[in-house]
Amino acid sequence: MTDIPFLSLAIWIPILGGLLVLATGSDRNAPLARVLALAVSVAGFIVTIPLYTGFDASTSAMQFVELQSWIPRFNINYHLGVDGISVLFLLLNAFITIMVVMAGWQVIQERVAQYMAAFLIMSGLMNGIFSALDGVLFYVFFEASLIPLYLVIGIWGGANRVYAAIKFFLYTLFGSLLMLIALLYLFMESGGSFSILEWHKLPLAIEPQVLIFLAFLVAFGVKVPMWPVHTWLPDAHVEAPTGGSVVLAAIALKLGAYGFLRFSMPIVPDAAHQLAPVVIALSLIAVVYIGFVALVQTDMKKLVAYSSISHMGFVTLGFFMFNQLGIEGALVQMISHGFVSGAMFLCIGVLYDRVHSRQIADYGGVVHTMPKFAAFFMLFAMANSGLPATSGFVGEFMIVLGAVKYNFWVAFAAATTLILGAAYTLWMYKRVVFGKVANSHVAELEDINAREFAFLGILALCVLAMGLYPFPFTEVMHASVDELLRHVAVSKL
Partner 1 sequence: MNFVVPDFYPAAAEIFVAVMALVIMLASTFARSIARGLAYFLTQATLIAAAFITIYTMQGEVTYTFSNLFVSDLMGDFLKLMIYFSMAVALLYGRGYLADRNIDKPEYYLLALLMTLGMMVMVTANHMLPLYIGLEMMSLALYTMVAFDRDSARSTEAAMKYFVLGALASGLLLYGMSMVYGATGTLEFEGIAQSVYQQVANETVLMFGLVFLVAGISFKLGVVPFHMWVPDVYQGAPTAVTLVIATAPKLAAFAMAVRLLIWGLFDLAEHWQTMLMFVAVGSIVLGNLAAIAQQNMKRMLAYSGISHMGFVVLGLLAGVVNGDGHFALNAYSSAMFYAVAYVIMSLASFGMIILLSRVGFEAENIDDFKGLNKRSPWFALMMMFVMFSMAGIPFFIGFFAKLSVLQAVVAAGYFWLAVVAVVMSVIGAFYYLRVVKVMYFDAPDDISPIQAPAELRVLLSANGLAIAALGLAPQMLMSLCAYALLASR
Least Å from the CB of residue 213 to partner 1: 15
CB-nearer residue toward partner 1: 128 or 392:
128
| Alpha carbon distance 446, 463 (integer Å) | 25
Least Å from the CB of residue 408 to partner 1: 40
Q: H-helix or E-strand containing 227? A: none
CB-nearer residue toward partner 1: 193 or 310:
193
Q: What is the DSSP string of 38-67?
A: HHHHHHHHHTTHHHHHT--TT--S-EEEEE
Least Å from the CB of residue 302 to partner 1: 22
| Alpha carbon distance 481, 491 (integer Å) | 17
CB-nearer residue toward partner 1: 191 or 471:
191
User: SS3 for 317?
Assistant: helix
Least Å from the CB of residue 134 to partner 1: 13
Least Å from the CB of residue 22 to partner 1: 8
Which of 382, 332, 373 has the alpha carbon at shortest distance from 354? 373
Least Å from the CB of residue 418 to partner 1: 38
- In sequence order, which residues have a C-beta less than 8 Å from that of residue 196 and are 6 or more positions away? 132, 133, 134, 135, 138, 262, 263, 267
CB-nearer residue toward partner 1: 22 or 418:
22
- Strands, E assignment, 253-373: none
CB-nearer residue toward partner 1: 170 or 296:
170
Ramachandran sector of residue 63 (left: φ over 0; alpha: ψ -120 to 50; beta: rest)? beta
| Alpha carbon distance 52, 332 (integer Å) | 16
| Alpha carbon distance 141, 138 (integer Å) | 5
Least Å from the CB of residue 211 to partner 1: 9
Residue 67: phi, psi to the nearest 5? -135, 120
| Alpha carbon distance 186, 484 (integer Å) | 20
- Output b/e per residue, 166-197; b: 16+ Cβ within 10 A: ebbbebbeebbebbbebbeebbebbeebbbbe
DSSP state of 226: P
CB-nearer residue toward partner 1: 165 or 247:
165
| Alpha carbon distance 238, 435 (integer Å) | 26
Least Å from the CB of residue 351 to partner 1: 25
Least Å from the CB of residue 39 to partner 1: 22
Least Å from the CB of residue 204 to partner 1: 15
CB-nearer residue toward partner 1: 243 or 421:
243
CB-nearer residue toward partner 1: 187 or 319:
187
CB-nearer residue toward partner 1: 113 or 374:
113
CB-nearer residue toward partner 1: 143 or 482:
143
| Binding residues vs partner 1 (CB under 8 A) | 25, 70-74, 111, 114, 136, 139-141, 143-144, 146-147, 150-151, 154-155, 161-162, 165-166, 169-170, 173-174, 177-178, 180-181, 184-185, 187-188
Q: How many CB atoms lie within 10 A of CB 334?
A: 25
